[in-house]
Amino acid sequence: MTSTSTTPARVGRERTCTQCGATYRSPRNSSLYCSPACRKKANRGSTPTAGPKAGPATFSPITKALLVAGYVGPITGSKSEPVYALTVPFDHALAELSYQFNRKGWGNVSREEFAEALRSDGIQDFYARSPEAADLNRRQTRRRMERQRAA
């Protein structure tokens, strides 16, 4: 009697695509690319990207913990690649993360270690206004000044 399994087979070893930098599993030792699309891009002479796209999958454990807690999130509303930033002040996020790490027995997180993790993951600082709101305010102020000069 044969048994069928719905779980995917975990065959091959984990490799990194030489074109896009994504991690994939390859059943062959000679595999260089994660997909036919990457293989074709490489054959056309397209330059390889710098690595996998920045995002939650590539974040450090410190940043992932902040993301789960809601202290880090995307700040752009556009459809382009999201930009991640702290959603609370730096000191508040550090205090909460230190509390969570101590509670789980993972040790203490220093201020320097915390700042380095945010910097390496490309997390921006907390601002009360988003960049879009600040830009909108600048445009509105510029228009108001132009109207005053014209009058």
pLDDT at 77: 66
pTM of the model: 0.51
Each residue's pLDDT tens digit, 5-27: 555 555 567 787 888 877 788 87
- 119 domain residue, yes or no: yes
pLDDT tens track for 37-60: 888 888 887 776 655 556 677 788
Task: Report CA dihedral (142, 130, 124, 84) to the nearest 10 degrees.
Answer: -130
> CA 112 from chain center: how many Å?
20
Give rounded-to-5 percent helix, strand, coil for the chain: 45, 10, 45
Look at the chain and report how many structural domains it folds into.
2
Look at the block and give the residue holding tokens 């969570």.
100
pLDDT (0 to 100) of residue 17:
83
Supply 37's token pair: 């699309």
Q: Quick one: three-class SS letters along 91-125?
A: HHHHHHHHHHHHHHCCCCCCHHHHHHHHHHCCCEC
- pLDDT above 70: percentage of residues in the chain: 80
Instruction: Looking at the structure, tell me whether residues 34 and 61 fall in a common domain.
Output: no
Q: To the nearest whole percent, how much of the chain has pLDDT over 90?
A: 11
State mean pLDDT over 110-116: 91
Structural domain that includes position 34? 13-44
- Predicted local confidence at residue 4, as pLDDT: 58
Cα–Cα distance, 86 to 59 (Å, whole number): 14
64 and 128 assigned to the same domain: yes
108 touches 101 (CB < 8 A): yes
What would the two tokens of residue 82 be?
């999201």
